[in-house]
Amino acid sequence: MIIDYPWYHVLFCLLAGAAYAGILYFAGHRKFGKGINALLATLRFVAVSIIALLLLAPVSRQTVNERQQPHVVLMEDASLSVGLSADSAFSLTELADDIGDNLRVTLETFGNAGTTDIGEALTRHRHDDVAAIIMATDGIYNRGSNPTTIAEQLGCPVYTVALGDTTQRRDATLSDLRVSRIAMQNSEFPLELTINASLLKGVGATLTVDNAMGQTLYTQKITYDDDQYSTTITAALPADKPGLQRYTVRLSVAEGEISSANNIMAFYVDVIDTRRHVAIFANAPHPDLAALKHAIESNPTYKATIIMADEAQNSRFHPQDSNFSLAILHNLPSRTHTDIRYADGLPQMFIIGTQTDLPRFNALHTGLEIVARTNRNNEVTALHQNQFALFHFDDADAEAIEAMPPLTAPFGEARMSADIQMLFTARIGPVDSRQPLVAATTQGEWRRSFVWGEGLWHWRLADYQSGNSHEHFDRLTTQLVAFTAMQQQRERLQVEAERSYAQGETPIIRAQLYNEAYELTNTPDVLLSIQGDSVKADFQFARDGQAYRLALPDLPQGLYHYTATSDGLTTTGSFAIEALNLEQRRLVADHNLLRTISATTGGEMYYPTDLATLASRLSALKPTIYTHTRYAEFLRLPLVLALILLLLAAEWVLRKYHGEI
């Protein structure tokens, strides 16, 4: 028995039982004999003591052994590469039926017509209590991490069933196309792609690149000089017409090729007719300035210029004269540079650092006020806020930013207007301070954004060290810049759509609506009409927080133009659905990968004809015995209540028998 009270409380319960029995049977005259009195007093003492003990809420501790059948996960590859092979009708259902009586079986699929990610399928059960994983696949994957690395972390054997054909076929393939997705009008953009061919030695082919009008922009003759041929071709293509442009790469099909679908590939490039300028005003030289400039110019549609505050003030600088779209103010206003009127009339992004003069910053009435009573600084890291709805920020980017080293932020308490939204809050050690780290607002005529902390160059450096690229930091910066630079007064209805989506993924489109006072609202309905080569449809946005969100159905590949309307407001745009065709570009099964995965995890590779052997192997899996401790309240135990009733009933019977009742 376990109680949460000191041990002497038990003595009080016993004393209560003894006092009750003594007063009842010994304090006054009783007509029972001495022996009967003692027996009745004992029964009452035990019953009252037990009832008093129950008031202390005692619990009992029991050790329970629980037997659980092994959990086995069966995974089937539903990708197109398997569907095109002789094993397209293969299923693990029969194996599931054979082993289902003795094992807990989960049957699931992975892969689709567009891509296969074997690593992601294995990752689903990384933290599950799984006795074994059986994976039926051809070993071909075209997305995600190396599955061997992920398999090593599972802690359970992976038995692979080898599907597909490892025989080399006569085929040529376009693969690994690399192209800049944004280009400036009247310039050229680079294209690089790899051509692979097998068993086509001595055969000639022609490579062409056409635009949407059917005009050939590039052509090259190729001769396959080896049965295992591979080459990389680079070309410079003209960007003449503005807008989202479709281009098609074609490789002529040789006689006897197993597939012609992998000889054609389409891609889209957003041709921009203007380049927007960003002014980075700085209180003093700082490593953040170069990091911001490089990040901004990673988007070809933007150009950044660093301007020292002294230069801006002394030359009576006017951003409007230089056609700037945005002013970034780094550590401004400061004690040495209090006047920032040169940034008036522009959307503004504030980098609030250790040199920022907070009282003068508060006097700007930006919607964010920082009340500081000391000159201390904090080391803060980022914590993503899912409620942010001003623009879409990818979860993978958010996770990368959260892992960045700390920024140095002036200590203070934030007071914010209601229309400021926080993309990241500041985390001090493990504690979320609920203070903004990265935030934005659509208050007033122009948009504003804020980064409460300096040291952004640490973020860009850490981003490169973790992934050999600056993509996460650059994407955060360019999205903040693009959002802040957009003029509200010209766009009360704003639609955010990616320039292209991969076929098979769900296209997500977001919208924001502002009333005549430029306040965010989502009371009116927002409608979207899309039109493509073979699709014309109308949709209604769903409300999402203060904004709108629309998940489009699966669309065929092609270029789509959309028109969004609400309360007499209209905005237009376009996006593309790109067919990856990755599954058709590689049809030779990779059984060596399957052997490696199985050997790494302690499993084995089997062929479809060996499923009976695999079933026998799985039947040898032993149940798992889990031992755990269970606590039960004595008050809820039927035997305790029965004992109390029995004691009281025995006392009543004795007293009745001896004539008192």
Residue pLDDT, tens place only, 134-177: 998 887 776 777 888 888 888 889 999 888 877 777 888 887 78
Residue 353 counted as domain residue = yes
Domain termination site, one of 157, 181, 206: 157
CA distance linking residue 383 with residue 407, whole number of Å: 12
Together in a domain, 144 and 179 = no
Query: Which of 312-316, 413-417, 530-534 has the weakest average pLDDT?
Result: 312-316
Together in a domain, 394 and 509 = no
In the predicted structure, residue 430 carries a pLDDT above the cut 70? yes
Q: What is the pLDDT averaged over residues 392-396?
A: 87
Together in a domain, 17 and 35 = yes
Positive or negative, the CA dihedral 481, 483, 488, 490 is positive
Together in a domain, 263 and 285 = no
Contact 448, 462 (CB under 8 A): no
Using CB atoms within 10 A of its CB, is residue 354 exposed (0-12), middle (13-18) or buried (19+)? middle
Residue 304 counted as domain residue = yes
pLDDT (tens digit per residue) in 300-318? 888 899 999 988 877 655 5
Residue 598 counted as domain residue = no
pLDDT (tens digit per residue) in 112-141? 766 777 888 888 887 778 888 999 888 777
pLDDT (tens digit per residue) in 575-600? 988 876 655 566 677 888 889 999 99
Together in a domain, 241 and 280 = no
- Sheet holding 171-179: strands in order across? 171-179, 187-198, 228-239
Contact 306, 218 (CB under 8 A): no
In the predicted structure, residue 360 carries a pLDDT above the cut 90? yes
Together in a domain, 150 and 187 = no
For the chain, what is the largest distance between any 2 Cα atoms, rounded to a whole number of angstroms? 124
* Structural domains counted in the chain: 5
Residues 6 or more apart in contact with residue 103 via CB below 8 angstroms: 69, 70, 71, 72, 131, 618, 619, 621
- Using DSSP bridges, classify how beta strands 508-514 and 547-551 pair: parallel, antiparallel or unpaired: antiparallel
Query: Which of 407-421, 481-495, 560-574 has the weakest average pLDDT?
Result: 481-495
Together in a domain, 511 and 499 = yes
Residue 98 counted as domain residue = yes
- Direct distance between the N- and C-terminal alpha carbons of the chain, in angstroms, rounded to an integer: 36
Together in a domain, 44 and 143 = no
DSSP 475-493: HHHHHHHHHHHS-GGG-SE
Dihedral pair phi/psi, residue 419, rounded to 5°: -95, 5
Neighbours of 264 (CB within 10 A): 15
Together in a domain, 554 and 643 = no
Residue 104 counted as domain residue = yes
Q: How many CA atoms lie within 13 A of 445 on its CB side?
A: 3
CATH number of domain containing 243: 2.60.40.10
Contact 453, 352 (CB under 8 A): yes
pLDDT score, position 316: 55
Q: What is the pTM of this model?
A: 0.51
pLDDT (tens digit per residue) in 61-114? 777 777 778 888 898 887 766 766 666 667 788 888 888 777 888 888 887 766
Residue 599 counted as domain residue = no
Together in a domain, 544 and 514 = yes
Together in a domain, 338 and 205 = no
Residue 177 counted as domain residue = yes
CATH number of domain containing 439: 3.40.50
Residues 6 or more apart in contact with residue 10 via CB below 8 angstroms: 3, 53, 56
CA distance linking residue 16 with residue 379, whole number of Å: 61
What band does 471 get if pLDDT is binned at 50, 70 and 90?
very high
CATH number of domain containing 113: 3.40.50.10860
Query: Which of 84-98, 236-250, 362-376 has the weakest average pLDDT?
Result: 84-98
Q: What is the mean pLDDT of the chain?
A: 85
What band does 445 get if pLDDT is binned at 50, 70 and 90?
low
pLDDT score, position 489: 46
DSSP 618-641: HHTPPPEEEEEEEEEEGGG-HHHH
Query: Which one, of 605, 498, 597, 542, lies nearest residue 147 by Cα?
Result: 597
Residue 297 counted as domain residue = yes
Together in a domain, 108 and 55 = no
Domain termination site, one of 157, 181, 207: 157
Domain termination site, one of 468, 485, 502: 485
What domain range includes position 220?
A: 171-273
pLDDT (tens digit per residue) in 37-62? 888 888 888 888 888 888 888 887 77
- Using DSSP bridges, classify how beta strands 569-578 and 500-502 pair: parallel, antiparallel or unpaired: parallel
Query: Which one, of 310, 251, 300, lies nearest residue 272 by Cα?
Result: 300
In the predicted structure, residue 606 carries a pLDDT above the cut 70? yes
What band does 478 get if pLDDT is binned at 50, 70 and 90?
very high
